[in-house]
Structure formats: structure tokens, C-alpha cells
Structure 1
Amino acid sequence: MSSSTLTRPVAAALDVAPEDYRRRAGLDVAARPGRFRLAVGRLARGSVAVVAFAALWEVAPRLGLVDRVFLPPLSVALGALADLVANGQLAVHLQASLTRALIGLSIAISAAIPLGAAIGRSPAVARLLNPVLELFRNTAALALLPVFVLVLGIGETSKIALVVYACFFPVLLSTITGVRTVDPLLLKSARSLGLHPLQLFTKVTLPAAVPTIFTGVRMAGAASILVLVAAEMVGARAGLGYLVTAAQQNFAIPDMYAGILTIALVGLAINAVLLLAERRLSRWRPSA
């Protein structure tokens, strides 16, 4: 049975023409090639800069514009990356870094969102905590790395704590902003329906603040990798930062660039996952 036969009863029940219903429901096959071409065009335009950068990286060392000993062609770095994947070294370092980053990011989000919501809703809490928060917010995470190492040791605890510190403030500040900038008319309408304060926060304030909160969460996701890589370069036996540093010290330059490429890909992957989570949690928003 064809899709047009199936849609006629539904269209009749809605009192619309079958063609209009099919177009609104996304069933119009004739419109799909146009949408596909549009998506391909957007992808192609967005890839121009990446392709140009990759071509420059490949060609410049081969033409002698840079010393290929210190900057090998992209194909050489990709070959080293493939070798690290094949011998299992990359999996070990990637697992170590992702475990530390995800644990630290999760702890930071779990602590920052409730605290940010409390500060955003209560002026008294904001007046109490703002001075100390401003003090630590303006202190770079890497500047405190020696302190974390001295207090917590050179093991996993200090690295995870540093990630928590670096991720905490972006999420905290975005949560405060999101809670404070919820549309007052939306809150007034919810109160008129008889919602008590907890329902008002969980069903209205927090969902409305999700887009702003996720801006900070995505910043924290990027910070978790950057800060962790720097920490792993100082004291670690596994991780992407350790891979880059060890390769540089052993003059395995292609492996060093392979590690750098992996760090970039991991950052892109984390950002893509957070974007997907934001879209799922913001399904109530009208699409552009």
C-alpha cells in the first residue's frame, strides 16, 4: 500500500488536502532531494576551510616551505595515527584522558547547576557567595596546578580536581545568567496556574534556562580537555597530554602530531555530544 493511500484518511480527518498534509508531515518525497542538496551544500561550504588547511599542511612541507622534520606532511601524521590505533597505544591514552575528563566534568556540572540556580534565585545567597566566587573565577586553573599536586598528590585525584575547577565556573555563571533571564511573563503565567515554588523551578525556570546553561556546559567540555592535557604533560603515565610530551621528548614528531590531532577530534566529539543533548532537552523550543 502506498504512502499516499495511507495519508488520505488522516488528511480527510484533519480537513486538509492530502498534498498539504504530506508536506507538513515531511512525507513529500519530491521535496527530499531539495533538502538533501541543501544539506550537502551547507556541509561543503563548512568544509572549505578545513580542506584548505589540510591541503596547506600536506603541501607546505613537501615544497620546502617549512622543515618537514619538525612539521611532517599531514599524510605522515595520519599514518602515525593509524599506527597508534593499530598497536593499541592510542586506545590506552584515550581511555585515560576521557575517564578523567568525563568524571571531572560530571562533578562540576552536578555541583555548579544547583549552586548557580540558588544564586540566581536568591539575592541573599548571591551577596554571600559572590566575593569568594569572583576571587576564584579570576584565578587561572593551570596557575593552581602546583597547588593541586602538592595537596592531592601527583595521581588521579589532582588531575580530576583540576578539571572540576576549570569546568565549574563556566557552568556556574551560565546557570546564574539563565535563571535570572527567564521571561517574567512566563513565570507570572506559571504562578497563576497555582504552581508551588519547587514546581515553578523544575517545570518552568530550569527548562527555560537550559539553552543558556548548555552554553556554559559546552565551554566546560572544551576546558576539560584543554586543562587535562596540560596537567598530563606535567605528571602522568598515560593520557593524550602524556602521549604528546613523550613523543616530543623522544623526537617521534609524527606521533606528536597524531596526538594533537586526536585531542582536536576528541574536543569536536565532546562538543557534538553536548549539542545533541541540548537539542534533546530543548525540544520544546520552536525550530529555526
Structure 2
Amino acid sequence: MSETSIAVIDQPVTRAAGPPAPEAKPGRRAARLLGSGLRRSVAIAAFLALWQIAPSVGWVDPAFLSPLSEVLATWWRLASGGDLWTDVWASLHRSLAGFAIAISIAVPLGLLIAWYRAVAGVLSPLLAIFLNTAAVALLPVFTLILGIGDTSKIAIIAYACFWPVLYNTISGARDVDPLLIKSARSLGLPPLKLFTKVIVPAALPTIFTGVRLAGAASMLVLITTEYVGAKAGLGYMIISAQFNFQIPEMYAGILTVSILGVAFNYLLVFIESKVLRWRA
């Protein structure tokens, strides 16, 4: 390919000038955003209202489903007293550690499997076996080998987070447009730069999908691991409150897990939007 043709390819495509699109007025834009926010919150507001009304009017026994107002008052008492934050920190420490370990291993391994067929041929059968083995089913094995401390809990979280990241990385790297790869090779791009400048950026959207799935898995598996042998954490808080029939405390713990899960997901979406600014 000649330098002239490359220069032509690099030139931005010009379009015929037309009348500029009218900008929405600030008032209309604010009204549109408000309407969108209201539509998004209708289902949540209805659920919270039902949670408050059902035990208050006797549709559900308040002994088993505390009213939302009572749960929020209990949550505030635990938060202001500091007990809640001890459990939150213990859970976040385990969840984030396992999540980070999974990403640091799964992304490079997934790229290797996608790029080198010899590696895929050797590892794919073994990975298929472990993929179909539920993380919760291996919890007793991890506990026997690594003990009942944080090490086994972080390891089982890393195991659960590993698979969505790995297979989305493989899928993203294998689905890169072949024409894009051929074009890069025709320009004389060496293999390492082809890998870092073409393959990895093109696979990033799919990789981030796996990362978000792993973030959800880290919170789900975390609670299960803390049911066994934990002395702190939101899972320990929930199961302890259940055994002691402290129902508002139990629901306060469940509500905290939901809030953390949603916040973590939005954090990953925000990071994805910053990393993939080039994506429409």
C-alpha cells in the first residue's frame, strides 16, 4: 500500500453541509431527563411501597417481613453505631480481592487461548470441565484445603469471577474483524503491536461485559461463603440475624448487599465509559 493511499485512508470523510440540528432548550432537556428518571423509578417505587404496606396492613406477617420503615430505622442504627461498616469492609475486602485476582489471570489467559490454537487445544478440555462445576459445589473443597479463614473465601470468589471474564475475553479476541487484522498486517505492524494496538482494543467491549458479570458473581458468591466459618461480613450478619430471629437486622443486611451490588455495577459502567471513549 502506497503512502498516498494511506494518506487518503486517514483523511476524515466529509459530508455535505446541511442546516444545523436545533439544540434542545435547557428546560426541555431537563424535563426529558426528569421524565426518563421517573419512568425508570416507577417499578422500584412500587416495590418499596408494597414492602411498606404489605406487613403494615396484615397481608404478610410482620414477624417474617418487617416494614420498610422499620428496616431503614434498623439500618441507620447499625450504620451510626459502626457495626454495619465493620461487616461491609470485611465483605468488600474479600469480594474485591477475589475479583481482582480473577481479572489479572483470566484476561491474559483468555487472550492467549484466543490467539494461540496450541494453547486452546491443550487447555480447553480441562477448562470445560471446571466451567460446568459450580463454585458453591467446591466450597467444601476450598474450605478443607485453605481453611475457614479469608483465604478460602477469596479463592472461591476468584474462581466464580474467573469464568465470565475468561470466556468473554476469548470471544472478544476471536471475533475481531479479520479485515482489520489484515489491514494492520499490510501496513507492516509487528505481531506485538498488532496484539496490543488492534486485538486488545477491539476485544475490550466484550471483555468489559465479562468483567461486569464477574462483579455480580463476586457479590453473590461472597454471601454464600460468609455463611460458613465467618466472624464478620454481610453474609455473617444476615445468617446470624436469622438464627437469632432479628428479622429487621436480617433485611438491613440484605438491603446493604443490594445497594453495594448496584453501586459496584455502576462503578464498572463508569470505568467502561471512560476506557472506551471511542465507542459510540
Common fold, TM-score beyond 0.5? yes
Contact 1:210/1:278 (<8 A) preserved: no
Aligned match for 1:266, one of 260, 266, 270? 260
Aligned match for 1:40, one of 28, 34, 48? 34
1:80-115 CA distance string (max 9 Å, x none): 111110100111000000011111100100000000
Which residue number corresponds to residue 170 of structure 1?
A: 164
Which residue number corresponds to residue 87 of structure 2?
A: 93
Distance in 1 of aligned mates of 2:205 and 2:37 = 24
Distance in 1 of aligned mates of 2:69 and 2:192 = 56
Which residue number corresponds to residue 225 of structure 2?
A: 231
Which residue number corresponds to residue 146 of structure 2?
A: 152
Q: Which amino acid aligns with 1:138?
A: N
Aligned match for 2:62, one of 53, 63, 68? 68
Contact 1:159/1:231 (<8 A) preserved: yes
Alignment of 1:190-205 (within 5 A): 190-205=184-199
Q: Which amino acid aligns with 2:258?
A: A
Distance in 2 of aligned mates of 1:273 and 1:251 = 34
Q: Which amino acid aligns with 1:174?
A: N
Distance in 2 of aligned mates of 1:194 and 1:280 = 30
Measured after TM superposition, the shift of residue 122 of structure 1 is 1.4
Unaligned 5+ residue runs, structure 1? 1-15
Q: Which amino acid aligns with 2:255?
A: L
Unaligned 5+ residue runs, structure 2? 1-16
2:230 is equivalent to residue 252 of structure 1: no
Name the count of aligned residue pairs.
264
2:273 is equivalent to residue 283 of structure 1: no
Distance in 1 of aligned mates of 2:186 and 2:279 = 22
Aligned match for 1:112, one of 82, 106, 120? 106
Distance in 2 of aligned mates of 1:207 and 1:43 = 33
Superposition TM-score, scaled by structure 2 size: 0.91
SS at match of 1:261: helix
Measured after TM superposition, the shift of residue 160 of structure 1 is 0.3
Contact 1:141/1:166 (<8 A) preserved: yes
Aligned match for 1:213, one of 202, 207, 212? 207
**Identical columns (%):** 56
Distance in 2 of aligned mates of 1:117 and 1:234 = 35
Contact 2:148/2:228 (<8 A) preserved: no
Distance in 2 of aligned mates of 1:197 and 1:43 = 47
SS at match of 1:103: helix
Which residue number corresponds to residue 73 of structure 2?
A: 79
Measured after TM superposition, the shift of residue 194 of structure 1 is 1.9
SS at match of 1:195: coil
Distance in 2 of aligned mates of 1:180 and 1:35 = 41
2:24 is equivalent to residue 53 of structure 1: no
Measured after TM superposition, the shift of residue 281 of structure 1 is 1.3
Contact 1:61/1:71 (<8 A) preserved: yes
Shift of the 32–201 alpha-carbon distance from structure 1 to 2, 3 Å rule, reads farther
Q: CA RMSD in A?
A: 1.6
Measured after TM superposition, the shift of residue 70 of structure 1 is 0.7
Distance in 1 of aligned mates of 2:249 and 2:205 = 38
Measured after TM superposition, the shift of residue 271 of structure 1 is 0.4
Q: Which amino acid aligns with 1:207?
A: P
1:8-61 CA distance string (max 9 Å, x none): xxxxxxxx99x95xx79xxx6x63322222222111111111001001110000
SS at match of 1:67: coil
Q: Which amino acid aligns with 1:216?
A: G
